[in-house]
Amino acid sequence: MALLEQWRSKAYDETANKADLQRLWQVYFQEERDIYAELLKNPDEVVEGTVKELSEKYGVPLMTMVGFLDGINDSLVNQNPIEEMEEDTRVNLGFDKELLYKNMVGAGADWLYNLEEWNEIFDEAKRKELYKEQKSSTTIVKGDKVYPNDPCPCGSGKKYKKCCGKNK
């Protein structure tokens, strides 16, 4: 079983004891926070190594590193092959700073996008701008309703019911 599959079966096990799962996630979120805090101290350095080497470097269990790699993958400049990843798979943590910040906002991970290390990377105005960009990108805006006697939006000059709204 690939590492990612092992992580997901453990972390998202619907048959597990809820208290055990809650403890797992509580520990995971703290370790994740610590790894990000370390990475953000040198945001332009591309950290590389095997999955096992990175888990040792950051002092976390192998499964925590697998979960971390799963979480950060969408924010990387060059994504890792997380689906078939094993202990000796070489991975990188070269992230796009703006994308990472937005993805943290999108995930609702305030314990991550509020890390003080972000202050050295983006000023407050930039962080607010990225926050707003992320929030507005997921807002659905419905167009105005077109009624049968309204002019057709296609620009024909006919009423909607006699043009594009016919037989609909």
92 within 8 A of 48, measured Cβ to Cβ: yes
Closest CA to 100 of 123, 121, 82: 121
Q: Phi, psi (5° rounding) for residue 99?
A: -65, -40
Asked whether residue 69 carries a pLDDT value surpassing 90, the answer given is yes
| Site of tokens 């994308």 | 99
Give 82's contacts (C-beta < 8 A, 6+ positions apart).
Answer: 4, 66, 69, 70, 73
**Residue 144 confidence (pLDDT):** 83
Q: Above 80 in pLDDT, residue 168?
A: no
pLDDT per position as a tens digit, 93-141: 999 999 999 999 999 999 999 999 999 999 999 999 999 999 988 877 7
pLDDT of res. 56: 97
> What is 52-85 written as a DSSP string?
HHHHHHTT--HHHHHHHHHHHGGGBSS---GGG-
In this predicted structure, which of 64-68, 89-93, 128-132, 163-167 has the lowest mean pLDDT? 163-167
> Which two structure tokens, joined as six digits, stand for 130?
């990225």
